């Protein structure tokens, strides 16, 4: 694995064009995609979820090409089955109790263990892998990057509705996922061996069968030399996905460079970072986060400016300045949650209109 490579996974909803509800015919899309996309498309636990993942990408431009290609292909495969594809962290009104589960021993075992917590996990995320040299270095970077997770998360918020209700959150997806064990912001680990001891203890005591059942907002991947960011809702637009991936890559590179110079970014406790994660879920980019150094609340936009300044010196060498600065567009136009809520208000509370909007936004920049 080369240093700072990218891998991007997006989880999409399959939509009935008449009812606008989720439709559990994902298997036909996956079967159709296996010929052309091979391992880049796969089924998830709920049959109305389809996941696509890029090949290893060596720069953000290659990642953009892959993301757009995969979105285009999945939309075309869905069209052939009289289905639509939507990119949002939750469906506006679908009920998890109505959803079919994919026939797979792994999913059967998960439901046997977690019951309705697993069945109710009808959510759609964005996962981004950034290549690292080794696990020890990766853990040092991970410890520092944790601080920025709420900043990234706020930009991705795209799940204000759940089971037909306006939840009052910009991202309700994380509230659903919080019911799972081993989720959220990870603890600080002093070394990769300490991290591995933790994983091995869970395996030994039959809490998990392998490290993939650690579902933190960021983790060292159990099999690859990557840091995997898992906190984000899937954004509606491909441009938003690329922006977030470029920002994650830039943060990893920036902290890597600081470590190489024997400079370290201050590490904050999980309980403090969680305060900002709560605010990001509730208010998105419209609220305030806490600047723990200053010990005061700061408008999100101010912290975003500081974040852009922090990574500025690595953007040109990564060739990602244009992609990262798309953050300005998100701040101006609102996140997916802000835009969903605007459609909801303008339509007099018509959630089908919200679904239609998500479907159209999912295509933006793809065709």
What percentage of the chain exceeds 70 in pLDDT? 95
Q: Is residue 312 assigned to a domain?
A: yes
What percentage of the chain exceeds 90 in pLDDT? 78
Cα–Cα distance measured from residue 178 to residue 158, given in angstroms and rounded to the nearest whole number? 17
Q: pLDDT band for 267, please (50, 70, 90 cuts).
A: confident
Q: Sign (positive/negative) of CA torsion 118, 119, 121, 124?
A: positive
Distances (CA, A) of 82 to 15, 18, 199, 209: 9, 10, 44, 39
Which string of DSSP letters, residue by residue, matches 102-163?
A: P--HHHHHHHHHHTHHHHT----EEEEEEE-S-HHHHHHHHHHHGGGHHHHHHHH--B-EET
pLDDT, one tens digit per residue, over 232-264 is 999 999 999 999 999 999 999 999 999 999 987
pLDDT, one tens digit per residue, over 94-151 is 998 888 777 777 778 888 888 898 888 899 999 999 999 999 999 999 999 999 999 9
Residue 143 tokens, joined: 């410890």
Q: Is the pLDDT of residue 45 over 60?
A: yes
Q: pLDDT band for 36, please (50, 70, 90 cuts).
A: low
Cα–Cα distance measured from residue 24 to residue 78, given in angstroms and rounded to the nearest whole number? 12
Residue 246 tokens, joined: 């470029």
CB atoms within 10 A of CB 291: 14
Q: Is residue 160 assigned to a domain?
A: yes
Over residues 285-296, mean pLDDT: 94
Q: Is the pLDDT of residue 321 over 50?
A: yes
pTM of the predicted model, to two decimals? Answer: 0.95
Tell me which of 68 and 109 has the higher pLDDT: 68
Over residues 275-292, mean pLDDT: 97
Q: Is residue 1 assigned to a domain?
A: no
Distances (CA, A) of 296 to 33, 121, 291, 299: 50, 35, 6, 10
Q: pLDDT band for 10, please (50, 70, 90 cuts).
A: very high
Q: Is residue 237 assigned to a domain?
A: yes
Q: pLDDT band for 27, please (50, 70, 90 cuts).
A: low
Residue 153 tokens, joined: 């998360």
Domain range for 327: 6-363
Q: Is the pLDDT of residue 276 over 70?
A: yes
pLDDT, one tens digit per residue, over 160-196 is 999 999 999 999 999 999 999 999 999 999 998 999 9
Cα–Cα distance measured from residue 3 to residue 133, given in angstroms and rounded to the nearest whole number? 6
pLDDT reported for residue 89? 98
What is the four-CA torsion angle of 337, 342, 343, 348, rounded to 10 degrees?
A: 130
pLDDT reported for residue 352? 98
Tell me which of 226 and 39 has the higher pLDDT: 226
Cα–Cα distance measured from residue 220 to residue 222, given in angstroms and rounded to the nearest whole number? 6
Average pLDDT along the chain: 93
Contacts of 61 (CB under 8 A, 6+ apart): 319
User: Total domain count for the chain?
Assistant: 1
Q: Is the pLDDT of residue 203 over 50?
A: yes
Q: Is residue 15 assigned to a domain?
A: yes
Q: Is the pLDDT of residue 35 over 90?
A: no
| Of residues 245, 299, 292, 303, the one with CA closest to residue 270 | 292
Q: pLDDT band for 346, please (50, 70, 90 cuts).
A: very high
**Residues 212 and 222: beta-carbon distance below 8 Å:** yes
Q: Is residue 313 assigned to a domain?
A: yes
Residue with tokens 């240093």: 3
Q: Is residue 170 assigned to a domain?
A: yes
Over residues 308-322, mean pLDDT: 97
pLDDT reported for residue 106? 79
Residue with tokens 């064990």: 181
CATH number for the domain that contains residue 61: 3.30.590.20
Q: Is residue 107 assigned to a domain?
A: yes
Distances (CA, A) of 157 to 80, 121, 166, 336: 30, 17, 14, 6
Q: Tell me the sheet residues that pair with 161.
A: 166
**Residues 8 and 245: beta-carbon distance below 8 Å:** yes
Distances (CA, A) of 277 to 3, 120, 188, 240, 326: 28, 22, 16, 19, 22
CB atoms within 10 A of CB 19: 12
Q: Is the pLDDT of residue 367 over 60?
A: yes
């Amino acid at each position: 694995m080369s240093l700072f490579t990218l891998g991007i996974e997006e989880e999409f909803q399959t939509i009935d064009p008449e009812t606008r509800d989720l439709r559990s015919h994902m298997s036909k899309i996956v079967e159709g995609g296996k010929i052309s996309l091979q391992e880049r498309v796969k089924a998830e636990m709920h049959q109305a979820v389809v996941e696509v993942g890029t090949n290893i990408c060596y720069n953000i431009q290659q990642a953009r090409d892959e993301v757009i290609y995969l979105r285009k292909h999945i939309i075309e495969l869905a069209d052939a089955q009289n289905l639509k594809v939507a990119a949002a962290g939750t469906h506006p009104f679908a009920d998890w109790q109505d959803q079919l589960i994919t026939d797979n021993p792994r999913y059967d075992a998960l439901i046997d263990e977690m019951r309705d917590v697993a069945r109710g996990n009808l959510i759609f995320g964005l996962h981004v892998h950034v290549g690292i040299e080794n696990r020890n270095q990766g853990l040092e970077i991970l410890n520092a990057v944790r601080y920025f997770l709420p900043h990234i998360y706020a930009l991705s918020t795209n799940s204000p509705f759940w089971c037909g209700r306006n939840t009052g959150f910009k991202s309700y997806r994380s509230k659903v996922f919080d019911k799972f064990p081993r989720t959220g912001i990870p603890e600080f680990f002093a070394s990769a061996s300490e991290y591995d001891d933790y994983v091995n203890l869970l395996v030994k005591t039959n809490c998990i069968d392998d490290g993939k059942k650690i579902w933190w907002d960021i983790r060292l991947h159990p099999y690859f030399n990557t840091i995997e960011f898992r906190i984000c809702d899937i954004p509606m637009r491909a441009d938003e996905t690329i922006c977030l991936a470029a920002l994650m890559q830039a943060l990893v590179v920036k902290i890597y460079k600081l470590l190489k110079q024997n400079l370290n970014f201050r590490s904050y406790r999980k309980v403090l970072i969680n305060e900002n994660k709560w605010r990001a879920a509730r208010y998105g980019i419209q609220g305030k986060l806490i600047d723990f150094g200053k010990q005061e609340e700061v408008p999100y936009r101010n912290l975003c400016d500081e974040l852009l300044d922090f990574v500025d010196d690595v953007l040109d060498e990564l060739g990602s300045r244009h992609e990262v600065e798309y953050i300005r567009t998100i701040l101006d136009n609102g996140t997916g949650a802000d835009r969903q809520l605007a459609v909801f208000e303008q339509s007099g509370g018509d959630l089908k209109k919200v679904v239609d909007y998500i479907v159209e936004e999912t295509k933006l920049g793809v065709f």
